[in-house]
Amino acid sequence: MVIAIRLARHGCTNRPFYHLVAIQHKRARNYEPLEQIGTFDPMPNADNEKLVAVNFERLRYWMSQGARFSKPAARLLGVSGFLPVHPYSYVAALRNTRILEAKTQDQSVEASNDTS
């Protein structure tokens, strides 16, 4: 049985909260996991932080058991610095920068139009 390390969405409507779990990969999303390794709160708190807590010791153990990561989990842990950064993180970042640049360009064009 392949062990997956993935995010299980807890919390409720409009308030996501994730558990980082080691679980048999065919189990349902919120099935009782083999072990809960950490938590991830994707909603920024008052200090604009998205809090992640991970038990890296246990993560090492589950990796030694051949656990596979889901893409979101791999991205999250890549950003944390424990794993190599996932390539898609770079792509997403590039896309985001492009969108941002486009926005700023639009704004600057609008501003120049307004002034002229």
- Report the interface residues with other proteins, using CB under 8 A: 60-61, 63-66, 69, 83-84, 86-88, 90-91, 94
CB-nearer residue toward other proteins: 31 or 56: 56
| Least spacing, CB of residue 28 vs other proteins, in Å | 20
Q: Which is nearer to other proteins, 15 or 71 (CB)?
A: 71
- To other proteins, the closest distance from the beta carbon of 113 in angstroms equals 30
| Contact present, 8 and 18 (Cβ < 8 Å) | yes
Contact (Cβ atoms closer than 8 angstroms) between residue 4 and residue 67: yes
The Cα-based distances of 28 to 5, 32, 46, 65 in angstroms read: 13, 9, 33, 21
Nearer to other proteins, 17 or 70 (CB): 70
